[in-house]
A and B are shown apart, each in its own frame.
Chain A
Amino acid sequence: MSDPPRDLRQLQRWMQEVITSADGIEASLRSPAAQQWIPLSPSALEQILPRSRALGSLERLEVYHRAYGARLRECLRELFPVLARTLSADLFDQFALGYLQAHPPRSYTLARLADQFVDFLARTRPAGDAAGWADFLIDLARLEWAIDQVFDGPGVEGQSWLAADELGQVPPERWPDLRLVPVPCLRLLAFRYPVNGYYTAVRRGAEAPIPAVEPSFVALTRRDYVVRRLDLGLMEYQLLSALSRGQPLASALQSALRETHPSESVVGQVEAWFRRWSQEGLFWRLEQPGA
């Protein structure tokens, strides 16, 4: 009578530990994480995984070990194409490898693979002011991840959004209490570096140097299923942020003025912004109290 088969859960836990380890295959087999499930030396691997005519057990298992890292790094490169191009292939792979070890994938979809990648980069940022390049990379990763989210998230395709003349139809005395409902695909982002311009240059294939530190602000939205990027000034960003948080128009404007202290009248500018926002479809509709 032959021995009963090894418990399936034990076998799967062991195999998963071995093939997802960042170490080489032999070191992975010897690791406590693998040994706790099946205590086994690499030379005894054949007791579990027989060799083929052409390949030993170790080489056969290594196919899975190599594939795990390679396929997930490839996916991360597709999710962060500009970051991957900015870093050398080796450096990007090192970040990716570190991330995958810290946050192994748990979702059924690879679209969630990088859920914590930006946080991971921020958490593992080298200390000190000299590492400004790290802040640039984190900014760039944030932009690309936000683009991925807007691309895949809810949008307003097939629906109408707030037109410029709708505001004009509201009596001026009611403007202060108006609320503007943002489209669900609107994202407002503040960066330490001008990453949006850099992103554009790299996508065009230009040799773009890493820019000097300079705060920048970007709105992302989506039209016809394509993500659109809008550079914003500080006050426009502040006003959009306050409106998106649900603040009424007057209060949002006061918040933005408080934050930015403009040196001249902003009335004309605000009108131009409203026209731009309606052209770009940043807001869905107006809400009037009591209407």
Chain B
Amino acid sequence: MPPARLGLEDLGLGVGLRSVHFPYLLRHFPPVDWLEIISENFLDTQGRPRYVLEQIAERYPIVMHGVSLSIGSTDPLDFEYLGKLKQLAHRTGARWVSDHLCWTGVAGRNTHDLLPMPFHEASLRHVVERIRIVQDVLERPLVLENPSSYVTFADSTLHEWEFLARMADEADCGLLLDVNNVYVSAFNHDFDPREYLRAVPAERVVQFHLAGHTNLGTHCIDTHDGQVIDAVWQLYRWACQRIGGASTLLEWDARIPPFEVVHAEVLKARGLLAPHEGPAAGIEHDGLDRLRDAGRPAVPQPLHVVAAEVQ
């Protein structure tokens, strides 16, 4: 059995680095435990994003989170992209490199969405083989996240959680457990999120993600545009009790508030995980969030364009 978190450290409570917060971060260098970058925003830039990242990486632990690896695609792996990932990881001293269990495009295209996989033996072999190659190139374990999904496949013979567990074991990779995504997918596909979490191999969970989502009544969309709802916090606490502590990161990608607000949101985890809180309550889809979300635009996140600064 591998060591907890594959031997990677628990970095504490971090937030996603977003360009709207660049000025605040460089002015105040606030006491946040760690920051996660969207890798693709920094692979090629020779402007402000690169400068900001250099300043940030000198002061905070950095984790690289990608959205274009397309580990499940049937297209060949992009070795030029992998080479750039490796260089960026080296330059920033990234603690680990993560992406998603998904495909983003095929036939040379990139839809810039995290598209779902069918879960069966053939797709498992396909993904495991590609993870091994990526890990060989990066010379470090890859950490893969469960994305939110909006369809399932009739061809699937495995549950997502079974696929994830076997994938992590057979490819010897890490897991980024997005608790909000578990909730969203459980809502969308009518399963119990606790069944999912019970099946996740605890020792392979390197990191947690938290985020807000939009509940449209019939389904949820992973919009990253608001606070974490209570049911997801409960699920997170339940997951921590079962899996143990791991680096936890809040993603906020649309209607982004000031940095202090984002930071305060993830710091809620401290109070939640304090011993006096007692065991986690039952996790139900409470239905209240759907009232709040009525009429909101719902675009799955993350998007990752950095707007130019011009005088």
Give chain A's interface residues, CB within 8 Å of chain B: 2, 4-6, 8-9, 11-13, 15-16, 19-20, 46-50, 52-55, 57, 59-61, 63-64, 67-68, 70-72, 74-75, 78-79, 81, 104-111, 113, 147-148, 150-155, 157, 203, 222, 225-229
Contacts and interface: CB of A to CB of B under 8 A. Distances in A.
Contact of B310 (A50, A151, A154): A151
Given A60-B150, A108-B81, A71 B74 contact: no
Given A57-B151, A63-B150, A152-B308, A72 B112 contact: yes
B234 interface: no
15 contacts: A9-B106, A16-B105, A16-B115, A20-B109, A46-B154, A49-B154, A50-B154, A54-B219, A59-B218, A68-B113, A71-B300, A106-B109, A226-B310, A227-B309, A229-B310
Interface residues of B, number: 57
Given A63-B150, A108-B78, 14 more contacts: A8-B118, A11-B155, A19-B113, A49-B151, A54-B217, A55-B188, A70-B299, A74-B303, A75-B112, A78-B307, A79-B305, A81-B307, A152-B308, A227-B309
Interface of B: 40-41, 43-49, 51, 68, 73-74, 78, 81, 103, 105-113, 115, 118, 120, 122-123, 126, 150-155, 157, 188-190, 217-219, 221, 297, 299-300, 303-311
Identify which of A55, A64, A106, A109 gathers the most chain B CB atoms within 10 Å of its CB: A109
Given A49-B153, A107-B110, A12 B103 contact: yes
Contact of B109 (A16, A63, A109, A203): A16
Contacts of B308: 147-148, 150-152, 227
B51 to A, nearest CB: 6
Identify which of A12, A13, A48 gathers the most chain B CB atoms within 10 Å of its CB: A12
A227 B305 contact: no
A72 to B, nearest CB: 7
A55 B115 CA distance: 18
A148 B181 CA distance: 33
Given A55-B219, A222-B47, A50 B157 contact: no
A68 B110 CA distance: 10
A63 B219 contact: yes
Contacts of B43: 108-109
A110 B38 CA distance: 12
The binding surface of chain A is classed by DSSP as helix
A291 to B, nearest CB: 29
Contacts of A113: 112, 305
Contacts of B309: 151, 225-227
Given A19-B111, A71-B299, A109-B44, A5 B304 contact: no
A75 B154 contact: no
B74 A228 contact: no
B44 A152 contact: yes
Given A75-B305, A111-B45, A228-B311, A12 B108 contact: no
B138 to A, nearest CB: 15
Contacts of B190: 52-53
Contacts of B155: 5-6, 11, 48
Contacts of B151: 49, 57, 60-61, 63-64
Contact of B303 (A20, A110, A147): A110
Contacts of B150: 60-61, 63-64
B172 to A, nearest CB: 22
